[in-house]
């Protein structure tokens, strides 16, 4: 293992795990707090470091969750475009225009 890949502490292991992506996106405040509490009990981090670590992990998790949601939305959009399926907004616009046409036709009679 190269020097930059070596993990020197539980904290570093936890941070690298969170950086992997999905773990951070699914991390809850309770589970992050529980993990950090264990690190505090073992003496790997101080209480203050632990609070900061929880905060950092949750912030990374929110960012990664947003990225994941954007990625999924893009994939779905592409799939819908290929399938040539009308979106709800398009159908609603057609319905609105049809109602206007029907009103005009009723007024012309």
User: Please, how many CA atoms are within 13 Å of residue 19, restricted to the half-sphere of its CB?
Assistant: 7
Q: Dihedrals φ, ψ of 17, to 5°?
A: -60, -45
Return the pLDDT at 22: 53
Domain layout of the chain by residue ranges: 3-108
Return the pLDDT at 100: 96
Return the pLDDT at 1: 43
List the chain pLDDT tens, one digit each, 109 residues.
444 455 566 566 666 665 655 555 566 777 777 877 887 888 877 888 877 877 887 787 778 778 878 888 888 888 878 888 888 899 999 999 999 999 999 988 7
């Amino acid at each position: 293992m190269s020097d930059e890949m070596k993990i020197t502490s539980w904290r570093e292991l936890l941070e690298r795990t969170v950086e992997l992506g999905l773990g951070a996106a699914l991390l809850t405040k309770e589970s992050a707090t529980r993990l950090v509490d264990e690190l505090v009990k073992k003496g790997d981090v101080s209480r203050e470091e632990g609070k900061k670590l929880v905060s950092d992990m949750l912030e990374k998790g929110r960012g990664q969750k947003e990225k994941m949601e954007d990625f999924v939305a893009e994939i779905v959009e592409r799939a819908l475009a290929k399938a040539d399926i009308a979106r709800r907004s398009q159908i609603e616009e057609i319905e609105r225009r049809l109602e206007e046409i029907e009103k005009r036709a009723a007024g012309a009679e």
